[in-house]
Chains A and B, each alone.
Chain A
Amino acid sequence: MSFARTLALGALTGLVAAFIAAASPAQAADVEVKIDNFTFNPQQITVKTGDTVIWTNHDDIPHTVTSKTMVFRSKAMDTDDKFSFTFATPGKYDYFCSLHPHMTGLIVVEAYTGK
């Protein structure tokens, strides 16, 4: 195989990969929210449609992630338990811990436009 041909094939492969990424949710990101000291951290984040938010409880006390409008609702998460939710629809999602309701957070979801 010539060097030129290898280069061409490589470029093509890259192009195909980029095309697939743009057209599929493979582009979507995982976004972390830590639960620490009875707070959601970051307390507010902005994500794109298709993104998945992953909450991890680092406290010695169980917490939940409960949407105010019940769009998502975790079970009680013990220490180190995770909960994730993939946002398909743009909007503002207020949530709280149903055990300690003074703990509140906000996920802002913007439409994914391919960029």
Chain B
Amino acid sequence: MTDHENGPSRRKVLECMTWAGTGVLWTISGGVPHSLGLVDEAKASEAMAAEAKGLTFLQISDSHMGFDKPANPNAKGTLEEAILRIKAIPTKPAFMIHTGDITHLSKESEFDDAEKIISQAKLDVHYVPGEHDIIDPDIKIYKERYGRGTKGSGYYSFDANGVHFLGLVNVANLKGGGMGNLGDEQLEWIEDDLKGRSASTPIVVFAHIPLWSVYPAWGWGTEDSARALGYMKRFGSVTVLNGHIHQIMQKVEGNVTFHTALSTAFPQPAPGTAPSAGPMKVPAEQLRKMLGTASVTFKQGEQRLAIIDTPLQS
């Protein structure tokens, strides 16, 4: 079964997408996401404080340590800004997830820089790799640093506050002509991992490339994601968090909420609006409105998780 047979038409998907020129505060009720408009830090903190009894974690993505091209000559500086903002949040989040592209070229020095900056948030970080994190000649630095206790190219699961998390890898062993790929071994592991879990367990899946077909012409999707999502059909609440496309997009399909996060390094164009998906140069005063992080809150007894995107500058 493909995404197309299973999911809504491309037109409908596009209707559901949100193009982010800046951060948007989302709340979700009755399966429909509502934008509460642009957020500033205070608003985000307020919303998070209100949810204090549940579980709040942060998502950070696409740091691209080592990137120094015109779209942002100082990707290190903007990551530092993002971490400073995370440190300033009054209610300490439970942990952080990083949805890949920690580095630009998988160099030891780039991983060192990322570690030095991100560790200042003083939060546990659960990583998954992006395609930029596994391009060292031996494809081993990422696994050495973040792969302890993981399977295959670095996938794993864990539990927090009754929520079950799956960190997936869809950037390894990609096939010519295709998009992101999970592969049979990982898919079998997902099926096995979810077996026997109560359907009322909230599921959070995170991976680098979107697990829905955002824009196949640019490779923005995952070939075999329909099979993975098939194993999650019986669960009442599934939240899929991705990065890779350096912009906010959201889609709700049945019990599944899909969301992509901002990068902290550089923005990328909306699908089809540029000759390619390459880094988008925007006026300097716009840049920080297009970079940022996300916070995700789960409240006991509520089906859907609230996702708040916060730009570095509103």
Binding site for B on A (CB under 8 A): 37-39, 59-62, 64, 66, 68, 75-76, 78-79, 94-96, 98-104
| Contact, CB under 8 Å: B106 / A102 | no
How many A-B Cβ pairs are below 8 Å? 60
Looking at the assembled complex, report how far the CB atom of B72 sits from the nearest CB atom of chain A, in whole angstroms. 10
The 9 closest A-B pairs by CB, nearest first: A96-B176, A37-B276, A102-B219, A76-B135, A38-B276, A60-B69, A101-B174, A37-B275, A99-B131
Residues of B within 8 A of A (CB-CB), count: 25
**A60 partner, pick from B218, B219, B279, beta carbons under 8 A:** B279
**A100 partner, pick from B137, B219, B275, beta carbons under 8 A:** B219
The interface residues of chain B, by DSSP majority, are classed as loop
Q: B219 — which chain A residues lie within 8 A by C-beta?
A: 100-103
Q: B132 — which chain A residues lie within 8 A by C-beta?
A: 62, 99
Query: Is B8 in the interface zone, CB < 8 Å from A?
Result: no
Name, among A98, A102, A103, A104, the residue most crowded by chain B CB atoms within 10 Å (CB to CB).
A102
| Contact, CB under 8 Å: B178 / A101 | yes
| Contact, CB under 8 Å: A98 / B277 | no
Binding site for A on B (CB under 8 A): 69-71, 104-106, 131-132, 135, 137, 174-179, 216-219, 275-279
Q: A103 — which chain B residues lie within 8 A by C-beta?
A: 219
The answer for the CA separation of A100 and B217 in the assembled complex, in Å, is 11
| Contact, CB under 8 Å: B176 / A66 | yes
The answer for the CA separation of A61 and B218 in the assembled complex, in Å, is 14
The answer for the CA separation of A102 and B135 in the assembled complex, in Å, is 17
Looking at the assembled complex, report how far the CB atom of A68 sits from the nearest CB atom of chain B, in whole angstroms. 5
Q: A62-B104, A76-B105 are known contacts. Are A102 and B217 too (CB-CB below 8 A)? A: yes
The answer for the CA separation of A62 and B67 in the assembled complex, in Å, is 10
